[in-house]
Structure 1
Amino acid sequence: MEYTADRVVELVQNIAWHPGRVLRVFWVRHSLESRQALAVEISRVVGAEAIVPLIVREGFENANAVMSDVQKAFAANPAAFDCCLGKQIDRVSVILLAKDDFKLPQGASPVILPQWFPVKAGLETFFEIADLAMTAEAALLDCSEARIEQIAEYTYKLEAALVARLALLHSLEPARLRQFVATAHGGGAEPDALASVGDYQQELAKTIDPRAYRPNAAKDAKSLISRLLKLVLHNSPKQLGVVANQLADCFADSSHMTLKPTLFAVMSRPAAKMNAEAANWHAILLAFYQAYQLMNGAAHAGEYPHYSVSLQFVSSVDLRSFLLAARPYVVGLS
């Protein structure tokens, strides 16, 4: 995950200060472009807070040497603090720009500040190094790192691929299409399979921009994904495993790929072991559900707690990777 200068500053400013602290240090991994250029863009004073980037070239490999590594970084880069000259500075946020991820345990350490430091010059204060991606919090799934628009697009395309396979299934094996539609609709009176596929197609056609797609699980919704979402919502984990097996049985060969489920799907697996085909369908059902919940969360971000940017980014990558991989699997169904 890479940041622009403005994004770094925005994230830093969203992190509350510990009472009484005048110094804090954040680690930012940056490997794509020149760290020096990024440092120039980050350096600034906002109100009474200076945001000062320093480029990490050595050190920060031993937890016991963190204090001396920070002092060396300060001593080697006094010019980096020139943005503070002639200004009233009450607090300093130092950004350590490194090529690698932060690997040291986080904890408070004392440091004796240089005589030229903008605040508490020559005095001892406490600081801790925190990975900015793990520390910075943004509204739930409302930050750019969550890539909600891509999740929407990939969800739409996976659903469209599945509807296309169902339309083909009608011409090849209408009995298996009826079986699939009956399972997707939750049992009960057998629906008109061909009419249902027509409904799925009409609902998809209403979406002009896939990146703005947002499925729903309303009672009267007629899309395929709405039917599948209701299966997840209305079945226990054990029952959902049975449903996944029933969906897999609707296709003559659904074992041509083994999909890697999202971590969310792994955490939601039923206790009973599933075969590869059922496991694939179980993963697809939960990926649709996960995407649905993430899009809802992003649309109502103010109603939820804050979570780290890193957590949101990694969760998004996990889900998007699955949605992309699931499409060729669905296209190959027969």
Structure 2
Amino acid sequence: MEYTANRIVELVESITWHPGRVLRIFWVRHSLESRQALAVEISRVVGTEAIVPLIVREGFENANAVMSDVQKAFSANRNAFDCCQGKHVERVSVILLAKEDFKLPQGASPVILPQWFPVKAGHETFFEIADLAMTAEAALLDCPEARIEQIAEFTYKLEAELVARLASLQLSEPARVRQFVAAAHGGGAEPDALASVSDYQQELGKTIDPRAYRPNAAKEAKSLISRLLKLVLHNPPKQLGVVASQLADCFTDSSYVTLKPTLFAVMSRPAAKMNVEAANWHSILLAFYQSYQLMNGAAHAGEYPHYSVSLQFVSSVDLRSFLFAARSYVGGLT
């Protein structure tokens, strides 16, 4: 995950200071462009607080040498602190710009600051190096790293691919479409498959911009995804595995690919072992549900706790990778 200078500053400023601390150090991996150019953009003093970026060229590989590495980094980059000269600085956030991820354990360490340091010069203070992505928190899914618009687009395209497959099968093997629609609608009285597929198509047609797509699980909703979401919402894990098997049975050969489920799907899998086809459909059902919940969470971000941007980013990558692969899988079903 790479950041712009403005995003780094925004994340740093969002983190609350520990009482009594005057120094904090954040690690940022930056490997795509010039770290020197990025450092120039980040460096600033706002009020009594300074943000000072330092370029890491060596060290920070041994947990026992962190204090020494920090002092060397300060000395090697003394000119980076020039932005503090002539200003009343009370707290400094140091950004370590490195090419690699931070791999050392995080914990507070003492350091004697240089005589020229802008705060507590020559005195001992405590610091800890924290990975900025793991430390900075943003409202649940209400940050750019969550890529909610792309999740919406990929969800829409997967649903559209599935509806297209059903429409094609309706012309050649309507019995299998009836079987699928019956399973998707949760059993009971057999629905009109032809009318249901038509409803699916019409509901998709109402979306002008896939990046603004937002599924609806309301009782009266007629889209295919709304039907599948209700299966997840109304069935316990064990029964959802059975439903996934029913959906898989509607296609003649869907075992040619084993989809890699999202971590969320792995955590929600039923105890009973499923064959490849059923496992794929179980993963698809839960991916639709995960997308639905994430989009709802983003729309109501203020109602949820804060989570690290790295967690949101990794979760988003996991889900988007699955949605992309699942679309290709569905497109090859017969």
Q: What TM-score does the superposition give when structure 2 sets the normalisation length?
A: 1.00
Match of 1:145 in 2: 145
| Structure 1 residues not aligned, in runs of 5+ | none
Taking the aligned partners of 1:129 and 1:260, their CA distance within structure 2 comes to: 35
Taking the aligned partners of 2:46 and 2:234, their CA distance within structure 1 comes to: 51
| Equivalent runs, 1:183-332 vs 2, <5 Å | 183-332=183-332
Match of 2:81 in 1: 81
Identity value in percent:
88
Match of 1:166 in 2: 166
Taking the aligned partners of 1:192 and 1:150, their CA distance within structure 2 comes to: 33
* Aligned residues of 1:256 and 1:332 also touching (Cα < 8 A): no
| Residues 257-292 of structure 1 deviation map (CA, whole Å, 9 limit, x = unaligned) | 110000000000000000000000000000000000
The residue type equivalent to 1:196 in the other structure is S
Residue 20 in 1 paired to residue 24 in 2? no
Taking the aligned partners of 2:153 and 2:208, their CA distance within structure 1 comes to: 11
| Equivalent runs, 1:37-76 vs 2, <5 Å | 37-76=37-76
Taking the aligned partners of 1:333 and 1:242, their CA distance within structure 2 comes to: 20
The residue type equivalent to 2:275 in the other structure is N
The range that moved more, 126-135 or 252-261, is: 252-261
SS in 2 for 1:88: coil
The range that moved more, 251-260 or 282-291, is: 251-260
* Aligned residues of 1:107 and 1:128 also touching (Cα < 8 A): yes
| Residues 64-111 of structure 1 deviation map (CA, whole Å, 9 limit, x = unaligned) | 000000000001111100111111101000000000000000000000
* Aligned residues of 1:48 and 1:89 also touching (Cα < 8 A): yes
The residue type equivalent to 2:108 in the other structure is A
| Residues 122-163 of structure 1 deviation map (CA, whole Å, 9 limit, x = unaligned) | 000000000000000000000000000000000000000000
Runs of at least 4 residues off by over 4 Å: none
The residue type equivalent to 2:11 in the other structure is L
* Aligned residues of 1:52 and 1:94 also touching (Cα < 8 A): yes
Shift of 1:169: 1.1
Superposed CA RMSD: 0.4
| Residues 216-266 of structure 1 deviation map (CA, whole Å, 9 limit, x = unaligned) | 100000000000000000000000000000000001111121100000000
The residue type equivalent to 2:231 in the other structure is L
Residue 113 in 1 paired to residue 110 in 2? no
| Residues 137-195 of structure 1 deviation map (CA, whole Å, 9 limit, x = unaligned) | 00000000000000000000000000000001111211111010011001111110000
Taking the aligned partners of 1:73 and 1:219, their CA distance within structure 2 comes to: 60
SS in 1 for 2:65: helix
The number of residue pairs the alignment matches comes to 334
SS in 2 for 1:307: strand
* Aligned residues of 1:238 and 1:272 also touching (Cα < 8 A): yes
Shift of 1:46: 1.5
The residue type equivalent to 2:154 in the other structure is Y
